[in-house]
């Protein structure tokens, strides 16, 4: 389906409701894209940039893993440790799906589903998707396709080595949460991926640095991975610049 490229204005795109699906469109962000809602026993998984629409049959009930809370444990000498709430993990939802067009090729649908898990050249990341259908939870959230597990024992192919005509898989969606600015304001609020922060006097370790930047000492591992040549346990120097992942 052809679509004009939409340019978001500000941080929120105008939204209109079409057939039960929230679709970007209207206003200055471009024309609306009309998508038929999925039928009974079906699920829609799709993205708007790039435009990829996938409709599959559900072979079971979607399953949602509720987010697990995380706690940072601070050890105290000769005293009981203290546990601090440190946020929660992302929601995950699994969708058991099937492509079966009554003997017709489903290769195109398989390719479209796989594209939802592949990085887009413009951003270098997989597209954001929405999932709508009977039993699908949290329809208002955006997701990323993080796993596709095909059931090869249930796959079927046309006679004579023809194209695949039956495809069964479990699709895992992981909740997408926008990057949030932490302790940075003004000219330093440039987006977390490209931001650096200067090590301050007294911050001798990555754990101390992470405690100030993230209020979470456990983020030291993430900082080490984002800065080649910097290791856990290595002593930091005041004035040293580190990339903030």
* CB-based contact 69:85 (threshold 8 Å): yes
- Kindly report, residue by residue over 95-142, the tens digit of the pLDDT: 999 999 999 999 999 999 999 999 988 888 899 999 998 889 888 899
pTM: 0.61
186-243: what fold? Membrane-bound Lytic Murein Transglycosylase D; Chain A (3.10.350)
User: What's the mean pLDDT in 65-85?
Assistant: 83
* Ranges of each domain in the chain: 15-62+90-175, 186-243
Closest CA to 83 of 208, 233, 217, 224: 217
DSSP class of residue 49 equals: T
User: What's the mean pLDDT in 206-235?
Assistant: 84
Strands annotated E in the chain: 15-18, 21-24, 42-48, 51-58, 63-65, 69-76, 79-88, 92-100, 130-132, 143-150, 156-157, 164-175, 196-198, 241-243
pLDDT band at 31 (very low <50, low <70, confident <90, very high): low
């Amino acid at each position: 389906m052809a679509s004009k490229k939409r340019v978001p204005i500000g941080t929120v795109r105008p939204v209109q409701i079409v057939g039960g699906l929230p679709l970007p469109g209207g206003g200055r962000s471009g024309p609306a894209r009309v998508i038929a809602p999925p039928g009974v026993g079906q699920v829609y998984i799709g993205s708007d940039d790039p435009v990829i629409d996938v409709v599959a049959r559900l072979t079971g009930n979607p399953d949602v893993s509720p987010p697990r809370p995380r706690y940072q444990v601070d050890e105290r000498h000769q005293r009981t440790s203290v546990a601090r709430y440190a946020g929660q993990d992302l929601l995950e939802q699994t969708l058991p799906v099937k492509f079966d067009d009554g003997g017709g090729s489903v290769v195109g649908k398989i390719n479209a589903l796989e594209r939802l898990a592949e990085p887009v050249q413009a951003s270098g990341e997989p597209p954001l998707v929405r999932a709508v259908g009977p039993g699908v939870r949290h329809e208002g959230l955006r997701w990323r396709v993080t796993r596709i597990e095909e059931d090869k024992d249930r796959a079927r192919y046309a006679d004579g080595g023809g194209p695949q005509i039956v495809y069964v898989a479990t699709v895992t969606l992981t909740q997408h949460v926008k990057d949030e600015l932490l302790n940075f304001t003004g000219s330093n609020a440039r987006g977390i991926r490209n931001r650096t922060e200067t090590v301050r006097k007294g911050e001798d370790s990555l754990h101390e640095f992470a405690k100030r930047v993230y209020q979470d000492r456990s983020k030291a591992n993430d900082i080490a991975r984002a800065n080649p040549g910097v290791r856990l346990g290595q002593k930091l120097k005041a004035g040293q610049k580190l990339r903030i992942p």
